Amino acid sequence: MLKLGLVSLTIAILAACGVYGLKNRVQLQERELHAVERRIDEEKIQIKRLKAEWATLAHPERLARLSAQHLSLKPAEPRQIMAISDIPLREQEGVPGPALVSALSSSAASLRQ
Amino acid sequence: MSGAPDHRGARRGAKTKISGAALEVRQARARLRLLAVLGVLGFVALGARMTDLAVMSPSLPVKVLHITKPEENQTRRADIVDRKGRLIATDYPKTSVYADPKLVIDPEQTAEALATVLTDLDAGQLGARLAQRNSRFVWVQRHIGDDQQHEIMRLGLPGVQFRTEYHRIYPQRALTSHMIGYVGIDNQGLAGIERSFNRRLTEGLYDGPLALTLDLGVQAVVRDELAKAVERFQAKGGNALVLEAATGALLAAVSLPDFDPNHYQQADEIARFNRNTQGSYELGSLFKVLTAGMALDSGAVRITDQFDAAKPLKMNRYRIGDFHAKKRRLSMPEVIAFSSNIGAAKMALATGTETQQAYFRRFGLLDRHPIQLAEVSTPQRPSVWREINTVTASYGHGIAVSPLQAIDAVAAAVCGGPRRPAYLVQEAGVKAPLKPAAVDQDTAAKLRWLMWLVVAEGSGSNGKVPGYLIGGKTGSADKAGPKGYGDRRLLSSFLGVFPIEDPRYLVLVTLDEPKGDEATYDQAHGGWTAAPTVAAIISRSGPILGLPPTDVAAEGWFRDRLVVGEAFNGRLKKTEPSFAAISNNGWSDGGSLQPAMLSPGGGQGCGCASCSTQG
């Protein structure tokens, strides 16, 4: 009977220690979780700020103004758009394709004139 | 007590006494066993519940946590983005400092410390406010910067706290003003999408951003070109729309003058007025496309018919004349190409009043447009529809509709099939249902040909764009003033369809009271003012939309159906080219229909419902 009691007491003490340790770990993790959550919130707020800033900086009228100031780009014209299927295949090595031949001959003709 | 000893048995003898004690022990054991079983059952139940809580449903309280945060108490709204996800409206987080005087230890010192970071702060005044121990909330400063917040945090002042509040901002500023609208001080939508989608934007915060059909790239081009035209022709204002023909998605909508929704209070009523949807205007000759459509579709008129436009038409006390009178017989295509009021009136008379009304209804011109906005006008139409109303309506007078309705009606006429009325929000369940076809495919093909003729040989030749084949129609309506019509104040428009061989987009530009300049020979008509604007919009936005240039062969298809002859212009006393259509070369007049007959590409026109702009 005494033996049973001792065993039970030991188990109870061990369990109490275990529970305390577990609770402690949970509390620590909870604290970490809150810290991470707060960081996530801060990051989210920061992302919102940056997205708004990006939209302001990428405003089409601003880009057009900057492009006119610093670049020599012009609005694309319809003739600059074509389907991929309309582009001739790359010419094989050593064998000039028909497009290259005609381009070369016309440039040669213009040189001769 | 059920197990109480039996006193009567004690008097009977020793034998019974012993058996009584044994019974007692047995009863006690039974009770212990019962208790043990109950105890075990209880622990098993507890264990089961613990397992259930820990393993089965681990993440219960997460959402509750978010709702109870202090900064979530205010109304927040979902973002609004364009069709490519570019930000149009968002909640911008701004941090404010406040203090709880009850927790502040030394008001004066706290105020002075704060003043070192927040330079425009009056330390003395703040110290006095912080000294009021009975209050628990004092604003120190609203909307401080990130670095200021960090510095105040480093000061470690007790009782000083931060609060992040969200303010609605519009990074695109005036670019999308009217359609997006704005919110009031309590973050509730007051106009535009912000108003009509207020529930979705506030309650559906976690459903992601609200995506519109607008394309900010095209929108910027349209606003730029329209603003140039309004300035050049000194117009009172103007508006422009770009519509995807097959789907009804609005790609751009600009109304000038406009306003910056970030400071909407500074804008007056005129600037806040959305001409595209709130305005209702007599749009003039644009309606001749629809008149031609209903005349051909109902079978009242054939494309080879001719109309006498030598003399003005007299009806009751009205006299209907042509602006650029030819004073001769006009073929049906010439009525549209030269925008003859007399010819249009005669077509409408041949069609009949009731048929005209029925087609107007099919085109959606008699009811309010179902676009997802609150600011939509109701069309003004004759209360009693007499023959004279039929005649004036045929060239767009006596009936006033919004520009949005007009572009939608023409889209229905040149596309033929069932289509959805124009819309702004892509989400499921918020679009108006498909409307049945307004005209059949054969009529739609003829209308495309007629609109090509307007630009190729008629009044819309300023709408030509290198690279794309354009169809269009000019419109120049006399504005009704206090003294009636006739003081030469115009509402000039041009509606372009591109590419006309297989319409993908429609562009409508309307200028309010433009004035002609030297380059337009002082002409302020749609063909001189609005048409070049449309052409500029098309040539700049076509490449943005990834539209390849028109196949050169397509123009041949249109030319093949044109008969050019000679006619005598009675007004100029000169011969001039005349234009008629070949009746059966290509399209069927009642015969069987083949796709190749309807468009150069063999498509059914606007057939590209699935190839939405993704470029």
pLDDT band at residue B65 under the 50/70/90 scheme? very low
> Which of the pair, B285 or B163, is modelled with greater confidence?
B285
* Phi and psi torsions of A54, nearest 5°: -60, -45
Q: What is the mean pLDDT of residues B194-201?
A: 93
Sequence-distant (≥ 6) Cβ neighbours of residue B438 within 8 angstroms: B293, B359, B362, B363, B409, B412, B413, B416
Answer yes or no: is pLDDT of B611 > 60: no
Distance CA A33, CA A31 (A): 5
Looking up tokens 């003058």, which residue turns up?
A: B257
The pLDDT value recorded for residue A41 is: 86
Check B542 against A78: CB less than 8 A apart.
yes
- Percentage of chain B with pLDDT > 90? 53
Distance CA B527, CA B474 (A): 5
> Which of the pair, B6 or B438, is modelled with greater confidence?
B438
Whether omega for the bond prior to residue B257 falls within 30 degrees of 0, making it cis, is yes
Nearest by CB: A81 against B173, B217, B549: B549
B103-112: long-range contacts (C-beta < 8 A, 24 or more apart)? B103/B158, B103/B159, B104/B130, B104/B157, B104/B158, B104/B159, B104/B160, B105/B158, B105/B159, B107/B131, B110/B157, B110/B159, B110/B160
Sequence-distant (≥ 6) Cβ neighbours of residue B505 within 8 angstroms: B242, B243, B244, B245, B251, B497, B498, B538, B541, B545, B547
The pLDDT value recorded for residue B215 is: 95
> Which of the pair, B186 or B331, is modelled with greater confidence?
B331
Which one, of B474, B475, B459, B496, lies nearest residue B338 by Cα?
Answer: B459
Q: Which amino acid is at B199?
A: R
pLDDT band at residue A2 under the 50/70/90 scheme? confident
> Which of the pair, B34 or B324, is modelled with greater confidence?
B34
Distance CA B483, CA B21 (A): 124
Inform me whether the C-beta atom of residue A93 falls under 8 Å from chain B C-beta atoms. no
Inform me whether the C-beta atom of residue B322 falls under 8 Å from chain A C-beta atoms. no
Pairing status of strand B210-211 against strand B160-169: unpaired
The pLDDT value recorded for residue B584 is: 62
Strand partners, B564: B579
Please tell me the least confidently modeled range out of A22-31, B18-27, B440-449: B18-27
Q: Which amino acid is at B111?
A: A
Q: CB count, 10 Å around CB of B383?
A: 6
Answer yes or no: is pLDDT of B173 > 80: yes
SS3 A4: helix
The pLDDT value recorded for residue B7 is: 53
Distance CA B356, CA B298 (A): 9
Q: What is the phi-psi region of residue B599: left when phi exceeds 0, alpha when psi lies from -120 to 50, beta otherwise?
A: beta
pLDDT tens string A59-108: 998 998 999 899 988 888 887 877 777 777 766 666 666 666 677 667 66
Q: What is the mean pLDDT of residues B515-522?
A: 86
The pLDDT value recorded for residue B429 is: 76
The pLDDT value recorded for residue B1 is: 42
Please tell me the least confidently modeled range out of A28-42, B82-96, B475-489: B475-489
The pLDDT value recorded for residue A93 is: 62
pLDDT band at residue B556 under the 50/70/90 scheme? confident
The pLDDT value recorded for residue A108 is: 66
Check B540 against A75: CB less than 8 A apart.
yes
Please tell me the least confidently modeled range out of B160-174, B269-283, B482-496: B482-496
The pLDDT value recorded for residue B137 is: 87
The pLDDT value recorded for residue B596 is: 55
B597, B587 Cβ separation under 8 angstroms = yes
The pLDDT value recorded for residue A112 is: 60
SS3 B164: strand
Check A60 against B544: CB less than 8 A apart.
no
pLDDT band at residue B605 under the 50/70/90 scheme? low
> Which of the pair, B613 or A111, is modelled with greater confidence?
A111
pLDDT tens string B393-423: 999 999 999 999 999 999 999 998 888 999 9
Answer yes or no: is pLDDT of B13 > 80: no
Distance CA B285, CA B410 (A): 12
pLDDT band at residue B614 under the 50/70/90 scheme? very low
The pLDDT value recorded for residue B531 is: 96
Nearest by CB: B546 against A45, A75, A81: A81
The pLDDT value recorded for residue A100 is: 63
Note the maximum CA span of chain B. Answer: 154
SS3 B465: strand
The pLDDT value recorded for residue A77 is: 81
Nearest by CB: B92 against A49, A78, A80: A49
Q: What is the mean pLDDT of residues B29-49?
A: 94
Residues of A whose CB is below 8 A from B94 = none
Distance CA B195, CA B201 (A): 9
Answer yes or no: is pLDDT of B64 > 50: no
Pairing status of strand B313-315 against strand B471-478: unpaired
pLDDT tens string B224-259: 999 999 999 999 999 999 999 989 999 999 999 999
The pLDDT value recorded for residue B14 is: 52
Catalytic residues of B: 285
pLDDT tens string B424-482: 998 877 788 888 889 988 899 999 999 999 999 999 999 999 989 999 999 999 887 77
The pLDDT value recorded for residue B69 is: 43
The pLDDT value recorded for residue B292 is: 96
Nearest by CB: A45 against B93, B547, B548: B93
Residues of A whose CB is below 8 A from B87 = 51-52, 54-55
Check A77 against B466: CB less than 8 A apart.
yes
Inform me whether the C-beta atom of residue B112 falls under 8 Å from chain A C-beta atoms. no
Give me B364's structure tokens: 């959606």
The pLDDT value recorded for residue B361 is: 94
Angstrom CA distances, B464 to B452, B470, B531, B537, stand at: 10, 6, 8, 11
Inform me whether the C-beta atom of residue B169 falls under 8 Å from chain A C-beta atoms. yes
Q: What is the DSSP string of B391-436?
A: HHHHTT-S-BB-HHHHHHHHHHHHH-S-BPPPBSB-STT-SPPPBP
Answer yes or no: is pLDDT of B192 > 90: yes
Residues of B whose CB is below 8 A from A82 = 548-549
* Phi and psi torsions of B581, nearest 5°: -110, 145
> Which of the pair, B597 or B307, is modelled with greater confidence?
B307
Torsion of CA B519, B522, B525, B531, to 10 degrees: 10
SS3 B455: helix
The pLDDT value recorded for residue B404 is: 96
Residue B7 CA to its chain's centroid (Å)? 97
Which ipTM score applies to this complex? Answer: 0.71
Q: What is the mean pLDDT of residues A37-66?
A: 90
Inform me whether the C-beta atom of residue A75 falls under 8 Å from chain B C-beta atoms. yes
* Phi and psi torsions of B230, nearest 5°: -60, -40
* Phi and psi torsions of B361, nearest 5°: -65, -45
Residues of A whose CB is below 8 A from B220 = 60-61, 64
Inform me whether the C-beta atom of residue A82 falls under 8 Å from chain B C-beta atoms. yes
B469, B554 Cβ separation under 8 angstroms = yes
* Phi and psi torsions of A11, nearest 5°: -60, -45
Answer yes or no: is pLDDT of B321 > 80: yes
The pLDDT value recorded for residue B70 is: 44
- Residue B23 CB burial class (10 angstroms; 0-12, 13-18, ≥19): middle
Distance CA B435, CA B219 (A): 27
Distance CA B577, CA B566 (A): 5
Distance CA B301, CA B583 (A): 12
The pLDDT value recorded for residue B493 is: 96
Strand partners, B425: B212
pLDDT band at residue B610 under the 50/70/90 scheme? very low
* Phi and psi torsions of B529, nearest 5°: -105, -50
> Which of the pair, B533 or B142, is modelled with greater confidence?
B533
The pLDDT value recorded for residue B412 is: 94
Residue B387 CA to its chain's centroid (Å)? 36
B274, B255 Cβ separation under 8 angstroms = yes
Sequence-distant (≥ 6) Cβ neighbours of residue B413 within 8 angstroms: B289, B290, B293, B363, B438, B439, B443, B444, B447
Answer yes or no: is pLDDT of B612 > 70: no
Which one, of B358, B455, B450, B347, lies nearest residue B395 by Cα?
Answer: B347
The two counts, helices (H) then strands (E), for chain B are: 21, 16
Whether omega for the bond prior to residue B312 falls within 30 degrees of 0, making it cis, is no
